[in-house]
Structure 1
């Protein structure tokens, strides 16, 4: 399986502007730039997209882990909070905090925590990131 996305850019890093497009068409010329990345400007940014990818990947991985344990979630809601830190002259993704609220009938708290931890460790996005990844999983 292969997936692709593309970026186009015009101008300097601070004053330029760019657009992101994904193979699926979900993003199609979606604007991004300095202000949307490092400020509150309109548009997206790479870190926001990584956070969305991580939340989606982890949540689906957990759904599969729960299914494998004979459990069907009523709801899984994950927020990925990404932290960037300056490192020398550049930046790095230092951490991602996954915050999960879940309703899983029939799951014990221990079983739920074990499956959530396994999903965090094994989802493909977690595995590609070189950042501290924490998980706060609440079974409601």
Structure 2
């Protein structure tokens, strides 16, 4: 499997500095700063990119799991919310909430929940983020 790459360049000190993160594919390039990460300033931040990666990975994992179980979905839409909080004086990702909605013909709500939970556990990004204390899932059928 291929190795995926991204890079970031930071210039200056923590509070007055600024940076740019970009994907090797050039599909994304975004500015980030102290205010965009720890306040409500303009620009992106690493946690937002983690949220995008987790939402994308989980949506694909759920679609694959549903299809494998005989319930190919019409659509899977996921939002990931990454919580950055101070823990023992250090910024820490403490929780990630996955909120997903899927259109899946012919599936029961119980079977959908079972498959969604298994997809959350098996998603490569969920597994990579195993150090996060809590990853929750709210899954609903459309």
1:61 aligns with 2:41: no
Name the CA distance, whole Å, in 2 between partners of 1:35 and 1:88.
Answer: 21
Name the CA distance, whole Å, in 1 between partners of 2:42 and 2:81.
Answer: 19
TM-score under structure 2 length normalisation? 0.93
Deviating more after overlay: 12-21 vs 74-83 = 74-83
Name the CA distance, whole Å, in 1 between partners of 2:74 and 2:6.
Answer: 32
Post-superposition shift, 1:55?
A: 0.5
TM-score under structure 1 length normalisation? 0.95
Q: Which residue of 1 aligns with 2:137?
A: 135
Q: Which runs of 4+ in 1 moved over 3 A?
A: none
Unaligned runs of 5+ in 1: none
**1:91 aligns to what SS in structure 2?**
strand
Name the CA distance, whole Å, in 2 between partners of 1:89 and 1:99.
Answer: 29
Name the CA distance, whole Å, in 1 between partners of 2:141 and 2:9.
Answer: 42
Post-superposition shift, 1:89?
A: 2.9
Name the CA distance, whole Å, in 2 between partners of 1:42 and 1:67.
Answer: 39
RMSD over aligned CA atoms reads: 1.0
1:23 aligns with 2:7: no
Post-superposition shift, 1:40?
A: 1.9
Post-superposition shift, 1:41?
A: 1.6
**1:26 aligns to what SS in structure 2?**
coil
Name the CA distance, whole Å, in 2 between partners of 1:5 and 1:80.
Answer: 20
1:117 aligns with 2:137: no
